[in-house]
Structure 1
Amino acid sequence: MEVTIPARLSRLSLLLKEEGLSRLAQSRVVVLGLGGVGSACAEALARGGVGHLIIIDGDTIEESNINRQALAFSSTVGRVKADVMKAMIAEINPDCQVDARQIFLTKDNIEEILTDLPKVDYVIDCIDTISQKLEIAAFCQKEQLPLLSSMGAANKLDPSYLNFSKIEKTSYCPLSKIIRLECRRRGIKNLEVLYSNEQPFKVENPTGNTKSQTLGSMSYMPPIMGMMLAGKVIRRLAGMEEYRIW
């Protein structure tokens, strides 16, 4: 029987064929964090035909998010990120089933939250806090869940330096260095990450030492990272790219 492909997926079908689209429609992906990386990633997954998304973020949208986050507009400032992302996905792909949760992930609640999720085909870590990233990696390694983890986009300017790599082989990324050392200490091996090996830009004469005063972010870097993460997962779940779990 001939399957009718929705017009919004017609260009995808030229590349993924019916089988690839079917595999994606049956897949469930969890996106942890809906900042500049995570919001772009969730958007690309929805546009790419993923049928089930779990999106988790405890934050609300701030005006300072507008320069880089797909869900940040003047009209959405003050709203819950998870709610705005769910509404966006409904506009993009109404067939996508979205479980949106406003939860702040902490190192103490991550195992409970991830254990409570339905079976997922891929976990994408788009948060930027070290302790949480390590707990996510430890949990996914223990449970043998496929995981991609984004490293730092702050103070990076050139997306051509972005690479997928095992954490052990990363370089020139301050966040990757800390994660690499902690993974070694905790026995976490073969964590797959997206990172930039560009030398970080140094902010001159910062007014303080907080993230907002020392870590600049270009409008394009976090979204490109999110799109790359989504692209890797889409290709793998559609059967276009082989991959190894841990």
Structure 2
Amino acid sequence: MLNQFSRTQLLIGEEGINRLSHARVAVFGIGGVGGYTVEALARSGVGTFDLVDDDKVCLTNLNRQIIATRSTVGQYKVDVAKQRILDINPDAVVNIYKTFYGPQTAGEFDFSSFDYVVDAIDTVSGKIELVMQANQAGVPIISCMGAGNKMDASAFQVADIYKTSVCPLARVMRHELKKRRVKKLKVVYSKELPITPIEDMAISCRTHCICPAGTVRKCTQRRQVPGSNAFVPAAAGLILAGEVVKDLSNYGGNL
């Protein structure tokens, strides 16, 4: 029967669509990267989502985050993302957590209940904890490396973490995971050299903070506020989603 996922079914077949509809995917970080991942997974027919992010939509998010519009500024990102998913697929189940993920909050999540984990957060400690928890539970995970301070959306590649190069975040992750004897990790990373952001105090979040009321982790607390655009984080997020869809649907017999 013709339905909203029929065009996708032409590529992955009815069994693939059924696999996606019964899959539960956890996305940690619903920002410039994770928002596009969630969007693509919802439009691909994933049945159950767990969305984790404690942040609210800020005016400065409008340049790159699909969930950010003038009408959503000030709302929790997971609330906005949930509404988008249900507008796309009313049959989806969406669990939301207004939580900053890290070693201190890892115990709040049962990783064995997930079929796939997407790491779209930007703290090294959180990313490492996600990998360790997913590995312990035997759940597939894909992790996004640095997407800020870049202009070339075509420079992204999918690889094992130990085969990455150029990306500073990937270098740190390789070092930390090797110490923990993690043997592999599928990642999306860019081979573009990072750009040094222009230091313009007239448009700096450090001196002109406009974070929504109630924001716990403000940009003023960061060592550096990265430059960003509409296309690089989006490309990374869509690549992440593509890998999840291919793996979960058994596209090409990978599972």
Q: Does 1:85 align with 2:96?
A: no
Question: For the structure 1 residues 91 and 51, does the alpha-carbon distance in structure 2 shift closer, same or farther, using more than 3 Å as the test?
Answer: same
SS in 2 for 1:222: helix
Q: Does 1:34 align with 2:33?
A: no
Q: Which residue of 2 aligns with 1:157?
A: 151
Question: For the structure 1 residues 238 and 14, does the alpha-carbon distance in structure 2 shift closer, same or farther, using more than 3 Å as the test?
Answer: same
Question: For the structure 1 residues 241 and 73, does the alpha-carbon distance in structure 2 shift closer, same or farther, using more than 3 Å as the test?
Answer: same
Q: Does 1:74 align with 2:70?
A: yes
Using structure 2 for the length normalisation, give the TM-score. Answer: 0.88
CA distance, structure 2, for counterparts of residue 243 and residue 206 of structure 1? 48
Asked whether the equivalents of residues 206 and 213 of structure 1 are also in contact (C-alpha less than 8 Å), the reply is no
CA distance, structure 2, for counterparts of residue 14 and residue 84 of structure 1? 30
CA distance, structure 1, for counterparts of residue 70 and residue 156 of structure 2? 30
Asked whether the equivalents of residues 39 and 70 of structure 1 are also in contact (C-alpha less than 8 Å), the reply is yes
Amino acid at match of 2:169: L
What does the per-residue CA deviation read over 1:76-96, in whole Å, with 9 as the maximum and x for residues that have no partner? 000011111100101111111
SS in 2 for 1:194: strand
Question: For the structure 1 residues 212 and 47, does the alpha-carbon distance in structure 2 shift closer, same or farther, using more than 3 Å as the test?
Answer: farther
- Of 207-216 and 164-173, more deviation after overlay is shown by 207-216
Q: Does 1:102 align with 2:98?
A: yes
Q: Which residue of 1 aligns with 2:108?
A: 113
Q: Does 1:231 align with 2:242?
A: yes
Q: Which residue of 2 aligns with 1:136?
A: 130
CA distance, structure 1, for counterparts of residue 91 and residue 223 of structure 2? 38
CA distance, structure 2, for counterparts of residue 39 and residue 227 of structure 1? 9
Asked whether the equivalents of residues 112 and 137 of structure 2 are also in contact (C-alpha less than 8 Å), the reply is no
Structure 1 vs Structure 2 CA RMSD: 1.8
CA distance, structure 2, for counterparts of residue 99 and residue 164 of structure 1? 28
Amino acid at match of 1:90: L
Shift of 1:212: 8.3
Asked whether the equivalents of residues 206 and 214 of structure 1 are also in contact (C-alpha less than 8 Å), the reply is no
Unaligned ranges ≥5, structure 1: none
SS in 2 for 1:157: coil
CA distance, structure 1, for counterparts of residue 10 and residue 185 of structure 2? 33
Asked whether the equivalents of residues 112 and 139 of structure 2 are also in contact (C-alpha less than 8 Å), the reply is no
Alignment equivalent of 2:8, drawn from 12, 31, 36: 12
Asked whether the equivalents of residues 112 and 138 of structure 2 are also in contact (C-alpha less than 8 Å), the reply is no
SS in 2 for 1:164: strand
Shift of 1:118: 6.2
Question: For the structure 1 residues 240 and 72, does the alpha-carbon distance in structure 2 shift closer, same or farther, using more than 3 Å as the test?
Answer: same
Shift of 1:46: 0.4
SS in 2 for 1:141: helix
CA distance, structure 1, for counterparts of residue 123 and residue 236 of structure 2? 17
% identity of equivalent residues: 39
Amino acid at match of 2:58: E
CA distance, structure 2, for counterparts of residue 141 and residue 159 of structure 1? 29
CA distance, structure 2, for counterparts of residue 79 and residue 13 of structure 1? 34
Question: Which runs of 4 or more aligned residues in structure 1 lie more than 3 Å from their structure 2 counterparts after TM superposition?
Answer: 204-214, 241-244
CA distance, structure 1, for counterparts of residue 27 and residue 254 of structure 2? 19
Shift of 1:52: 1.0
Amino acid at match of 2:75: R
Asked whether the equivalents of residues 32 and 66 of structure 2 are also in contact (C-alpha less than 8 Å), the reply is yes
